[in-house]
């Protein structure tokens, strides 16, 4: 069995962003040379997420509205975690959106259903963060 590991780095400008990382992840898969196996992609920071969904701007706005309703950023004093950093809402949003995705690799391609894409969700941006891509297989 072969394995491959790479880190993708992101430096977001806004506190919250949704970035389609499917092309970068597919490039990692191509670099790996693995044709059959599994690909793990996970956020390496507790205030960011990796998830699969549709690349549609209305849906991304719906995520933003829904998540802000579940865990509003402000007022900061509503959260016990806040103090040194006012990012408790980002921790909660990450918990809802998830840490990672696992995608089957078939014939050297990400084996997706219709419209599926991989996204990096940033909930406490403004600094450099990373995503791990790990591929195992033959």
Q: Where exactly are the structural domains of the chain? A: 2-137
pLDDT digits (tens, 9 = 90+) for 39-60: 999 999 999 999 999 999 999 9
Of residues 135, 134, 96, 103, the one with CA closest to residue 118: 103
Q: What are the phi and psi torsion angles at 45 (to 5°)?
A: -135, 140
**For residue 65, is pLDDT > 90?**
yes
For the stretch 78-110, pLDDT in tens is 999 998 889 999 999 999 999 999 999 999 999
Query: pTM for the complete prediction?
Result: 0.95
Domain 2-137 belongs to what architecture?
Sandwich (2.60)
Across 23-53, b (16+ Cβ under 10 Å) vs e yields ebbeebbeebebeebebebbbebebbbbbbb
């Amino acid at each position: 069995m072969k394995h491959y590991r790479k880190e993708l780095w992101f430096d977001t400008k806004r506190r919250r962003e949704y970035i389609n990382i499917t092309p970068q992840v597919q490039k990692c898969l191509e670099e790996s040379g693995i044709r059959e196996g599994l690909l793990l992609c996970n956020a390496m920071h507790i205030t960011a997420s990796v998830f699969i969904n549709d690349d549609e701007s209305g849906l991304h706005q719906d995520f933003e509205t829904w998540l802000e309703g579940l865990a509003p950023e402000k007022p900061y004093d509503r959260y016990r975690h806040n103090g040194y950093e006012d990012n408790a809402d980002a921790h909660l949003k990450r918990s809802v959106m998830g840490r990672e995705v696992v995608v089957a690799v078939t014939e050297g391609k990400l084996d997706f259903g219709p419209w599926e894409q991989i996204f990096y969700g940033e909930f406490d941006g403004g600094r450099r963060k990373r995503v791990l891509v790990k591929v195992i297989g033959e």
